[in-house]
Structure 1
């Protein structure tokens, strides 16, 4: 508790503590030392505007009637100003004249002309400090000691000056002669008792009626008052109760709060004991891990030593092989050299033969022998060693050094279950974005994400990796998908998290796409035109496989001679023939007078009535009923059965020159389109 009783500025026990706006306390002398003129203030006097000191006995007695704005109970905290919000009709408080900055939290407390002396006195803290000093017999510091060091312990207290003196300061500032000789000097303990008695006497009296003791408490002003204040003062219309009753109630509330806090402190004490036990357990487990680690590293060192011996033996075998090869080459070359030398000496002696007939008889044999030996010399006496004397060997240690640098510990248990982040998950059109977070205390190598089929079916894996955000495209429209994720590391795999449900859009929104040079797209893929007299096909940006979808094309320009086909197609449809020509497309081909339905190159269901500029052609795809309906101006023009058709189908359009169309997607089918029902044409 001692740290609660020491000033955050001077470090000593609180002496005449005052309360700041941030609810921290400070010695009155420290507050005077730290107070500064407020910014923009022009009324500050040169003396700093300090209020009465603790030695001025009348200062605290006049503060009993000051309004407390910092305490809900009679805690002994009083304030020198009265807020206009509590006393109707008072003008707003003037701007601050001084400010003081809290040394603990750096918050600024505004003050009026009285400066630090006008701050509310923290009398409860002063009483607790006195009890603590008395209980532990802490020496009272001298109030007049100057210098950088700590003040000397006080020896005497003057009842008239209200100051504690050490021996040197008493001799210097309070000599036993002259007028001061009549002052009553007592011991430090007696001085503390006198100060407590005077404080209790002042605190028990009303500031407006000094002859009356406070016995009531105004809840409106949060101020202790006397009976005269209640009947004749400003408090007669306020909510006033007996001071003892209010104090008892507030003490009960504080006791209950302290009881809850005590329970938390008790639980914290038990937990701290558990942590200490864990700390001791950590020491033992650390020694176990160190032992295992040392054994493993010793095994690695032994294996490295063994490998070093193997490599040295291999190098030495290479050395012996090279030495043996060089010695064999020396032996062979020596033998050849000796034979050649003998032949040379023999031929020289033959050249000395004086008989021409005898020389000519051996001349041919000697010449063949010399030529053959020269030829064999060039073949056998190559001026290069059969093996290089150097060792072109470099130990490949980079991989091993990198492995040693990366040698670390692995998690000894599987990771905890990751959790979804719903606020970062979304569904747009027929794609969903899923985000998750790892378990806060787990080592994770990667994640596995699974979703179902949108019909509450089995889950399937869609992603495995280190990322924590995944977007999945190409899903069914108007479907609710369940997604779940789990984490894994080198030790094992966590459990899957609780599934998160995401619903795709009810209707499809798409744009037209084509990379053919003859097709021109505009307005973000919603407007299409063609520069060729041949048919060109464009597909929608999304594939459809479930639900009911409706989209429209408005004919912006049409000269009556062009061919237009509206319908569906698979992704691999031929893009350079009219829609419906191949087996992977279904369409309604229409001109200015009539229309046909087309599939796999067959024309059927000719219907009178064509289109012109400004008309709207609607396409209704019902994948539940497996039908494809076409509308012109809201009237049904034809129906194709899609029975037996499976897979993903794309909205499609084929057109040629002199046609400009605008597509509108993401529409709900008109009621008249849903009401119109005819037998589909197969």
Structure 2
């Protein structure tokens, strides 16, 4: 019931309808609000001038006026009567529910008559505040519009169910709470409106005024008034015009414009339209039920997205932490190497210092001894030892001249950290669009997701067609059977198996490639990916190739998978995820098939910092 409340409120005043009337566009307005939005039109567009000009269009035919609507949603609040002599433009306001509200063309009457029954200015025009269609009124004015008594009854029942306070039906602005109801006028009044519009004198003195609650009960118990014809106010509706889609009286059929139209019984059409409305409501009810279920699904998706986001963030943090740990471990290893080099340099320099110190002490002692010998005045004694001293001095001098005064170690560290592969891998570290159907989305959403990122599926290596022969390897692959996105080509990459970088050895449309020129008795890692105009797929699982030993004996190729009776005997752990087989005899090679996540290249880069030996481009050819 609460959702229905907006259907029961006037688009102009924003309150419940009071004496609603039906416009030709099927929208409703309060009688007082309809009078407030009347606008005078040029004299040339009056109904009389239209009839005088021979126009056969009805006074309430608004189809031609759609093209010259006075006000539209896109204007600035001012309008003119398009196509004719301009009328005074009038600024418009906003009603409580957001539609345009036009100020009254004339001040409201201060008589005891209802505003809707007061005289209407000649050549008046009314514009629907909802669809903005304009309509020129005829001599009947607002009385020419039928009253929506069904809407009145719905509002009464709704207010009774809500036990809402009854409002005055004659207040010009915000309606005040009603204090009395006139049973004869069937109108609720507040005290100011009762004194102004229903004074207790004259014929009105005989009217019975009751409290609003009692008036509501009496209105509900009293027989509902039968709607009368808008053209013949004393006649009740008795038939239904099929062409005009409106109830008519018998006088309309005899002398009115409906005389030549097809008519049907009012009761039969009432039941038929009720049945049609019920059928339409059944379809709308199904859509509303689907909408409720869809809203529940969307709310569940919000919760699931939040949970998945937390889970994904935790996984991302764990992966990044693992990379950081690997980098820290490599950092510790490199620092250990630097410390080892540091200790080695210090040891060499300290040993040289010790050696030079001892040598210098010996040299200094020899020099002092020779100086003392020179001071002696005994020629024969001096000559006995002079030759030996001269030889010792020359020998000592020669010892200082053979690189002894050159440092055995430099102060610089002849090490340079090669971090460019790691930085490149870090910069290339990104998310990959997975081609996996979401668990909590329907098939349509999955199709839309695939259409939004049509990258090729990951190729599958055909192990039964892969083999090695001597120092060459042949690899074969294919697209997944259920893949719907075609691949324009494939990229085969190979590394040296020692943690080196992968290098492209083949780019093309073929699904088989033979790589020659590999080293004998070596291990290589191979992987494949597909590409198209949108991007590249994920890498396939890594295939570890081991070439055969260099031998002159007759060689033959052994395909994969290898028969179990010809495999070398080896005990495998039940928890092992890698099968690594060595050749059982010269000339035969086997494969190692393992899972390779995307972080493998980054881990390889971490392990290859300062790692000697890389697979040169001259060693690979496609």
Q: Could you state the TM-score of these two structures normalised by the residue count of structure 1?
A: 0.45
* Structure 1 or 2: more strand by fraction: 1
Q: Which has the higher contact order (CA 8 A, sep 6+)?
A: 2
* Structure 1 or 2: more helix by fraction: 2
Q: Could you state the TM-score of these two structures normalised by the residue count of structure 2?
A: 0.49
